[in-house]
Structure 1
Amino acid sequence: MTDIVVDWLDEIQKARGKYFLDLSKVHDDANMVTKELENEIIKWYNEEVEWVKRLTQMREVQKCGVMKFLLEKLVPSLDDNILYVCQQNVEWRNLLMRQAYEESAKLVNRLGELSNLFTAYSTLFLYISRTGLTDPKQLQGKKMNDLQLHAVMVPFPVQGNINPLMNLAHLLSSRGVFITFVNTECSHNRMSTAAAESSKFKFLVIPDGLPPDHGRFSKLPEYLNALEKLGPILEHHLLCSLTDGTPPITCIISVNFMSCTYEVANKLGVPRVIFWTMCAASSIAQCNAHLLLSSGHIPVKVENLKKADKVITCLPGNLPPLLPSDLFSFYRAADTSDVLLQWALRESEFQNKGDYVLVNTFDGVDAPETVSALSINGCPALAVGPVFLPNFLEGRDLNGVVSLSEQDESCLKWLDAQEPGSVIYVSFGSLAVKSNEQLEELAVGLEKSEQPFLWVLRMDIVGGKPGTLPEGFVERTKDRGLIVKWVSQVKVLSYPSVGGFLTHSGRNSCLESMSMGVPMLGWPYFFDQFLDCRFCKDMWKIGMDLEGVAADESLVVEREEIEKGVRKLMEGREGEELRKRGRELKEAAFKVVGEGGSSFLNLNRLIHDIAQLSKTASLKTA
């Protein structure tokens, strides 16, 4: 019986893999044709510009007679021709991209049909594996929900954690796992209704124990304390949610900073899977926070942030030496009594208590031996990222499920009209805060760089309020710049016209930029962003940074530094080398999530292993 199901799964998986590769090829072919066309147009344009220069020089020499008459007629004609070529260039590019998207849409629909079939057979296969079923007659009277594994997904309630866990949930759901996705009331209220309704899994909304008008992130210590105590509330709501038709819970998958799930998994008698949303090096540092404390590396004194003699070499995983400035910003404290440092230390204890470990990274960014250093008592530790990419390639942009505001799609048409690789995209994520003084320096720096830009300017960027731009800035830059409130970042980064990303170096942003092959100019704000910024520059070779920001997040970066950084990224030789490296990382990311890739296979292994672990696990409902 099992062999038959395995054969079914193999056939369906091969078909899914073929369509997945076809989908990628359509996008690549469209980009390649567009690039070739652009090169021809640029060559033609340059030749005509050269002719205009020569004719203009001749005009200076021959000021009268027939030559003057001919030049007056010929030069405007050439100018008109150049304008016509540029307009045709845009029209041809748009036509090619529309044809590519239409073909992709057909493939995505077919892929969806195959995914549904694969889900059904996967569910059957997992049930057979878990129960040792040998007689097909034993399936009679069984409902689909009776056969499924059931994973409870628990994110830390912030956009940067919810989005990757939501992507992981969809990947597991497509493999036949029943999903319950837990949200706090505050987070769920910000979730896109359409996205929630289109999901194939169940949402469980729970209170976080704080009043509605509590500032939460503006009162961070109180908020973190409330989340630590969320265990009993979570357990109660989970038990109440197990209505008829819901499979028994077989595992809890939580992001790394939700220690409350440890006691819940224990009481329910199910495995606890820890999903690290950070890069492996940051994860290892946090997991070994007590080792850093006993070795005297934390708390980090501000004056030691860049000292070469303070490098950290005591961590496992064959990591390169880390600087004090690479560590979490929460470690920057006067002494060990600091509230945020104490919270990080408490969480570290529970990050070493689990049954399985997943990391949102991939081969080519983090080595397998580095990821393996996150293993708990010998349990598997697997790279499964970038978790957003398979969903995005199949037409699902889940990174907008929890969004600060409505996404502005008009910017995509604007990007269509820009030259390949010409636009620098500017965004600092959902939490970073800037002063009005810093916004002015940034605006002037962008203006002086003379580069086309797409700038995401949140309405709460200055302490919860909109920022103020220099007088006349929008008018002066309207021909080459666009300012929006919020966008689909992955869609923006996937556009050929985007050639660079000025970023806060958040983990999701880094993974998305790598996967789309876009180099970065790092400007970290807090938490783990300092290490990602430096590793993008020194280890992964797909980024550069602004001078001094790693050592002092409150530093006001001056306009000259911003202009210099943007020009270096967009015009310089170093920027071109980074784009070349970006193409290599993009290829690696596409490979690992595709049929037979390491992240693809690791997700399959996770489901198999959880099925085995759940053989003896039982839900304690009594």
Structure 2
Amino acid sequence: VKLEKESQMDEITMSLPPHVLVFPSPVQYPITTMFDLAELLCLSGLDITFLLIPYTKSLLFDHVNIESRLNPYPLIPPIQYSHLNPRPSIRLHTISDGLPSNHPQSNATYQLLESMETFTKPVFKDLLTSGRLVSDEVGQVSCIISDGYMSFVYDVTKEIHVPVISALSSSPSSLWLLSNLPNPTDDGSNADSIIRRVPSMNGILTSEDLASMCQSCDWTDPTIKHLRKQIRELSRAHGLILNTFKALDGPILSQVRSICPNLYPIGPIHTHLAVRQEAELLIPLLNYSPEENKNCITWLDSQQPKSILYVNIENKVQLEWVQTRELWHGLVNSGKRFLWVRQTESITKEGRVPPKILKGTKERGYIVESASNVQVLAHKAIGGFLTRGQWDSIIQGFVEGVPTICCPSSLDQHVNSKFVSKSWKIALDEEWRWERNIIEKMIRDVMGSKRELIDNANKMKNSGRKSVKKDMDQKTLPPHVLIFPLPLQGPVNSMFKLAELLCLSGLHVTFLVTDHIHTRLLKYSNIQSRFDAYPGFRLETISDGLPDDHPRSGDRLMEMFDSLKVKTKILFKELLTSARLNSDSRRPVTCIIADGIMGYTCDVANDVGLPIIYVRTISACCLWVFFCLPKLIESGELPFAVDDDLDKPIKSIPGMEGFFRRRDLPIESRFLWVIRPDSITSDPTEIPLELSKGTEERGYIVGWAPQEEVLAHRAVGGFLTHSGWNSTLESVIEGVPMICWPYFLDQQVNSRFVGEVWKLGLDMKDTCDRVIVKKTVRELMEDRKDEFRKSADEMAKFAKQCLMEGGSSYGNLERLVKDIKAITRT
């Protein structure tokens, strides 16, 4: 009974959704974005623990009706769930930041992060290892998503072996700029020189666009040192989530991959969430904000379309009374109607408000303590947006097509404001001063005088929504696998079979071949008709870097390998980062399957942030021999002299001690015989008369044959082969005994296994004598025919059983497809 209960518990545990812990930065706006991200992940079937410090928990509850926000998730159709497949959920959990409750945390972000580095770090480790986050319905934390500026998380998770994905709510452009700050030891650095050497930003930014703490070039400033450290540490993360999309930040994203190759640009996150909620929850979006937000929405409902300027200046930077006064005058004097989120704590030294201003506000304005940016900016009455330039606010504004005025203050706001005004041309920032006349003019410009801003804002709105829709559409598409075989006939043929299997399993496949191989395929096969049945299959070509007249023969393989490693590697990366492989009907490449002998493909895959699976088309036994070569050298069994005893057993290869000899090692032989005319090194017409006559009586010579069909024919009773692994397997599956005449690489090892281990034929290694060939053929086809046929039939039976449902190969293919789907970036 105990064992049965344990088995049931194991079954339930295995069926639990993955458990992700989301740990945001202790700042209001990253928290709201991270909460949107948590909801997105929950809608994708993941269990979420949302970890907060007490201060950020109070912020979240002040600005979000958290209970209402979480209510939709029990409405996920329950038919999908059971006790063996529980419903995913979001839970809140708190952790101490180490600061006293009366500490002014709203204006001490750096001190707060410092305290968390010292105090919260051990508490966080204890939380993860204590079991407090685990229950019958929630499994162990399997992944952590933390703010990218809290690097202490990496230290903790390294000790407990849990992967970390970082998330940043700041813009990719500000991240890239900060990553290019010079070392403190650099001499002669100034703000202008920094800007000039930042790739993709020269000509857009000026020294004034650096945050004030960077303009002085004081690299010993604690905040700068903290930022530099956090950006360096990003490379430790498994990936990086960014609140942007390719159409907006494509050039910058390609640069940011040098910091963290595996990027997840899934924005705009708030729009992405709204689209997912409508599509998957099948309920209308709820009003999640506090009562005051409902009142301002009611006020907006009574206003004319595009008539309201929305003013929301983030509360992390307090305004002096003189700034508040000038802004207020500018709002009222502009004659435009406005909604102003004016948080009391963001204003210091408030003075007397002139009656004229109060009267103008009563006539044309509405002031509230808090409001939902997302809901307000989406309202039809909003025609402009005045913001500090925080990235979350910027992206929320342009998704709704709202022209913007930026009044940047700190950190990434300067960079963001420059990009939205100069690069995307949807905002004003270059004229901003805390002077009522300038503010008045900018409000009038953004609310209608500058039509260009409105037109560009609408274009960005369409671009953002199109990106989310395309992403949503592509989520329903199968994973897209790129297969890149070694450009030789055998590996290409083998990988073609794998491509067909994956297509049959519902995956999209791009099969990448060199131009030379493509020409041969068109010449010797009807490749297109072979794959017409697979709409998810596509053939692509790439140069191998060799001249057209290069023979690409076996004796010059190293020239091809060198060219692939030097020239094709560059082209391969360009192909993966270009739009050439993309279309509306298929995802971008989500996984690479490449021949394991082409190690450079792994370098490229890591550079572009794609998972890679290696395929070796040689036999497992030969791969094991290659793997053991260092051990042979270490033991003194290699090298040996040419005139040494070649039949001496090799003792340092585990599992092969009893039968493997020196002559079976994968070294080059002295003779090559291939039927294809282009592979014969002498004149094929120089054939003795008696051979021609004998061939006419008993033989048939062709330039090419469909090997699988020939081996499957009932007339075939034996197969003389070089013992390439594909040919060996094709012979095994058809139960055809073999004569092995190996030439190079794995063929020596394969031939030994065929003859000595599996007893499927004869090993004719090192022989090019007509008498031996005659004797071997007679032995296979006559003298020992029944013996070899019996062994071949038994092995064929075992091979076919492996391919049936329940067989090992059948199950492993299912596991491969499952893994490809699991590692597909979503």
Asked if these proteins are the same fold (TM beyond 0.5), I'd say yes
Q: Distance in 2 between matches of 1:587 and 1:144?
A: 44
Match of 2:169 among 277, 281, 288: 277
Aligned 8 A contact 1:150 1:180 in 2? yes
**Residue identity in the other structure for 2:301:** D
Which residue number corresponds to residue 354 of structure 1? 237
Aligned 8 A contact 2:246 2:253 in 1? no
Q: Distance in 2 between matches of 1:154 and 1:603?
A: 29
More off after superposition, 375-384 vs 582-591: 375-384
RMSD: 3.6
Q: Distance in 2 between matches of 1:471 and 1:538?
A: 38
Which residue number corresponds to residue 235 of structure 1? 125
Q: Does 1:487 align with 2:371?
A: yes
TM-superposed CA distance for 1:359, in Å, is 1.1
Q: Distance in 2 between matches of 1:517 and 1:577?
A: 12
**Residue identity in the other structure for 2:469:** G
Q: Distance in 1 between matches of 2:198 and 2:183?
A: 8
The one-character-per-residue Cα deviations of 1:366-403 (angstroms, maximum 9, x if unpaired) are 01x421322367732131101111223437999998x8
Aligned 8 A contact 1:391 1:398 in 2? no
TM-superposed CA distance for 1:406, in Å, is 5.7
Match of 1:543 among 407, 410, 427: 427
Q: Does 1:379 align with 2:252?
A: no
Structure 1: give runs of 5+ residues left out of the alignment.
1-137, 550-556, 617-622
Structure 2: give runs of 5+ residues left out of the alignment.
1-6, 74-88, 477-586, 592-608, 613-817
1:85-124 equivalent positions in 2, closer than 5 A: none
Match of 1:567 among 444, 449, 454: 444
The one-character-per-residue Cα deviations of 1:556-612 (angstroms, maximum 9, x if unpaired) are x1111111111111131x2x2111111111111112222545996899979997996
1:162-181 equivalent positions in 2, closer than 5 A: 162-181=31-50
Q: Distance in 1 between matches of 2:314 and 2:286?
A: 12
Match of 2:100 among 211, 214, 228: 211
Corresponding residue SS for 2:20:
strand
Q: Distance in 1 between matches of 2:246 and 2:100?
A: 43
| CA spacing shift, 1:287–1:139, aligned 2, 3 Å | farther
**Residue identity in the other structure for 2:245:** F
| CA spacing shift, 1:612–1:208, aligned 2, 3 Å | farther
Match of 1:244 among 111, 135, 154: 135
Q: Distance in 2 between matches of 1:218 and 1:378?
A: 30
Q: Distance in 2 between matches of 1:254 and 1:614?
A: 24
TM-superposed CA distance for 1:219, in Å, is 3.8
Which residue number corresponds to residue 81 of structure 2? none
| CA spacing shift, 1:398–1:257, aligned 2, 3 Å | farther
**Residue identity in the other structure for 2:439:** I
Q: Distance in 1 between matches of 2:356 and 2:12?
A: 65
Q: Distance in 2 between matches of 1:168 and 1:604?
A: 24
Q: Distance in 1 between matches of 2:286 and 2:345?
A: 20
| CA spacing shift, 1:297–1:234, aligned 2, 3 Å | farther
Higher relative contact order (CA 8 A, sep 6+): 1
Q: Distance in 2 between matches of 1:486 and 1:389?
A: 21
Corresponding residue SS for 1:180:
strand
Q: Does 1:589 align with 2:472?
A: no
Which residue number corresponds to residue 527 of structure 1? 411
Which residue number corresponds to residue 444 of structure 1? 329
Q: Distance in 2 between matches of 1:360 and 1:297?
A: 35
| CA spacing shift, 1:449–1:144, aligned 2, 3 Å | farther
Which residue number corresponds to residue 785 of structure 2? none
The one-character-per-residue Cα deviations of 1:48-70 (angstroms, maximum 9, x if unpaired) are xxxxxxxxxxxxxxxxxxxxxxx
Aligned 8 A contact 1:319 1:370 in 2? no
Which residue number corresponds to residue 357 of structure 2? 473
**Percent of residue pairs identical:** 26
TM-superposed CA distance for 1:409, in Å, is 1.6
Q: Does 1:579 align with 2:471?
A: no
Aligned 8 A contact 2:55 2:105 in 1? no
Q: Distance in 2 between matches of 1:431 and 1:356?
A: 28
Match of 1:389 among 268, 271, 281: 271
The one-character-per-residue Cα deviations of 1:25-84 (angstroms, maximum 9, x if unpaired) are xxxxxxxxxxxxxxxxxxxxxxxxxxxxxxxxxxxxxxxxxxxxxxxxxxxxxxxxxxxx
The one-character-per-residue Cα deviations of 1:291-334 (angstroms, maximum 9, x if unpaired) are 46566686x6xxx5xxxx54623334676553233334442446
| CA spacing shift, 1:531–1:274, aligned 2, 3 Å | same
| CA spacing shift, 1:175–1:615, aligned 2, 3 Å | closer
- Calculate the TM-score normalised by the size of structure 2: 0.51
Q: Distance in 2 between matches of 1:603 and 1:144?
A: 33
Instruction: Report how many residues are paired.
Output: 457
TM-superposed CA distance for 1:177, in Å, is 1.4
TM-superposed CA distance for 1:139, in Å, is 10
- Calculate the TM-score normalised by the size of structure 1: 0.66
Q: Distance in 2 between matches of 1:318 and 1:533?
A: 14
Corresponding residue SS for 1:505:
coil
TM-superposed CA distance for 1:263, in Å, is 0.7
**Residue identity in the other structure for 1:354:** A
The one-character-per-residue Cα deviations of 1:384-438 (angstroms, maximum 9, x if unpaired) are 101111223437999998x8x8643222222222222111111102323211111
Aligned 8 A contact 2:337 2:364 in 1? yes
**Which has a greater percent of helix?**
1
Which residue number corresponds to residue 498 of structure 1? 382
Q: Does 1:415 align with 2:296?
A: no
Q: Does 1:462 align with 2:347?
A: yes
Corresponding residue SS for 2:48:
strand
Aligned 8 A contact 1:422 1:451 in 2? yes
Q: Distance in 1 between matches of 2:273 and 2:335?
A: 36
TM-superposed CA distance for 1:205, in Å, is 0.7
| CA spacing shift, 1:334–1:249, aligned 2, 3 Å | same
Corresponding residue SS for 2:166:
strand
Match of 2:402 among 500, 505, 518: 518
TM-superposed CA distance for 1:538, in Å, is 0.4
Q: Distance in 1 between matches of 2:260 and 2:224?
A: 28
Q: Distance in 1 between matches of 2:188 and 2:462?
A: 37
TM-superposed CA distance for 1:282, in Å, is 0.7
1:266-345 equivalent positions in 2, closer than 5 A: 266-289=158-181, 291=182, 293=184, 310=193, 312-316=195-199, 322-333=205-216, 335-345=218-228
**Residue identity in the other structure for 2:122:** P
Aligned 8 A contact 1:501 1:520 in 2? yes
Task: Determine which structure has more spread, i.e. the larger CA radius of gyration.
Answer: 2
Q: Does 1:182 align with 2:59?
A: no
Q: Distance in 1 between matches of 2:37 and 2:432?
A: 35
Corresponding residue SS for 1:358:
strand
More off after superposition, 340-349 vs 143-152: 143-152
Corresponding residue SS for 1:190:
helix
TM-superposed CA distance for 1:512, in Å, is 0.4
Q: Distance in 2 between matches of 1:352 and 1:141?
A: 35
Which residue number corresponds to residue 265 of structure 1? 157
